[in-house]
Amino acid sequence: MAARSAILGAGHYVPSKVVTNDDLTKLIPSTSDAWIQERTGIRERRIIEHDGIGASDLAVPAAKMAIERAGLTIHDIDAIIFATLSPDLTFPGSGVLLQHKLGMPQIPALDVRNQCSGFLYSLSVADAWIRAGVYKHVLIVGAEVHSTGLDLSDRGRDVSVLFGDGAGAVVVGRSPDPERGVLNVVIRSDGVGAHDLMVECPASKYMPRITKEMIDEGRIWPKMNGKLVFRWATEKMPEVAIESMEKAGVNVDDIDLFIPHQANMRINQFVAMKLNIPQEKIVHNIDRYGNTTAATIPIGISESLGEGRLKPGMTVLFAGFGAGFTWGASVVRW
Ligand code: COA
């Protein structure tokens, strides 16, 4: 049987500063703890302690934890894939910043810009690299600093209550057992939804890329057509999950743990219901962290491993949907 890739270790890091829904209502008086909890399942989120902390800074402890749990050192890592929608700088990407901060050898650092599907896109690339024998150990990091990019006023309430800062990481390498590991990763996109979830400015198509008017008009903040995103997510996540399970030759009863992207607890409950996955098999962390975008699934993996909830031999399903639109799913035999 051909070589498979496997997730050899996982880690995560969230900043220490907790912002509850009640804290948010001081800035956004027209929202409430009851509204946020009822519509999203979020109780609180973490944000960076002070200005000057970027996605690559959150990535450092998450990456170290993943590498250590894989039983490796930074010198064993052959490539970095860094998924984020909130890079430290416009360019270069956060991958090279992480390479430098960890003091790693001059390995390649690839930046992935697929937002909430960033982890699944990264896993698809890492899996292909490992199976093709290009690299032995690939570090994937999903890390986000949302808190510096949200419209914390009544105007931005539909988006700003959803997001939090955090990082998750995994090390992907060759599976020691051909029966186990990443069975497949399916990724998709449709740019028809590009303008239904986006940050418009600054943009290279405008001269200049940023103006005072753009700032005053709020075009620098994320905009979302929430109902449309909800509809697409609850249609596409089950569809791609079924495709991934079929390709893996497993059925829904074989799934021991479902680790979905964390955009909204209601989306995940709905998706699980459509797929016939019992609620007790779903991993949630949105109540504590909000939506950490590219970090949600690796944080879910890391926490599940730490709690002993994710064990060898289990069949695990990942699924996500986000801006682009982009979406994907993966089945992994642990
Ligand atoms: N607090 C209080 N009220 C709010 C609010 C907030 N934070 N945000 C929106 N509202 C209001 C709306 O203005 C609307 O008021 P109206 O009825 O007077 O017009 C009302 O609440 C209902 O808004 P609606 O958009 O219908 O709510 P919803 O049930 O669709 O929930 C989301 C809104 C954003 C939680 C939901 O649409 C969602 O989760 N969408 C997908 C999110 C997602 O996946 N994001 C992408 C990341 S990948």
Residue where the block lists tokens 């990724």: 187
What type of residue sits at position 259? I
Tokens of 157: 């309430």
What backbone torsions phi and psi does residue 141 show, to the nearest 5 degrees? -125, 135
> Are 169 and 296 spatial neighbours (Cβ–Cβ below 8 Å)?
no
The answer to whether the bond into 202 is cis (omega within 30° of 0) is yes
Q: Which of 114, 184, 285, 291 is catalytic?
A: 291
Residue 153 pLDDT more than 70? yes
Gap from CA of 158 to ligand 1 centroid (Å): 5
What is d(CA 273, CA 284) in angstroms, rounded to the nearest whole number? 15
Residue whose token pair is 């642990």: 334
Mean pLDDT of the chain: 97
Does the beta carbon of 160 sit less than 6 angstroms from any atom of ligand 1? no
**Predicted confidence (pLDDT) at residue 2 exceeds the cutoff of 90:** no
- Is 50 considered catalytic here? no
pLDDT in tens, 161-207: 999 999 999 999 999 998 999 999 999 999 999 999 999 999 999 99
Q: How much is the pLDDT for 117?
A: 98
What are the residues facing 173 on neighbouring strands? 6, 137
CB–CB of 32/21 below 8 Å? yes
Mutate to test the pocket of ligand 1, among 19, 39, 152, 236 (most ligand atoms within 8 A of CB): 39
Q: What is the CA radius of gyration of the chain?
A: 19
Omega cis (within 30) before 260: no
Catalytic residue among 12, 21, 114, 116: 116
Q: Are 196 and 225 contacting, i.e. CB atoms less than 8 angstroms apart?
A: yes
- Please give the model's pTM, rounded to 2 decimal places: 0.97
Q: Are strands 109-112 and 79-83 parallel, antiparallel or unpaired?
A: parallel
Q: How confident is the model at residue 1 (pLDDT cuts 50, 70, 90)?
A: low
Q: Spell out where 175-325 has E strands.
A: 181-189, 197-198, 223-224, 257-260, 315-322
User: What was the pLDDT predicted at 3?
Assistant: 86
Does 94 or 1 have the greater pLDDT score? 94
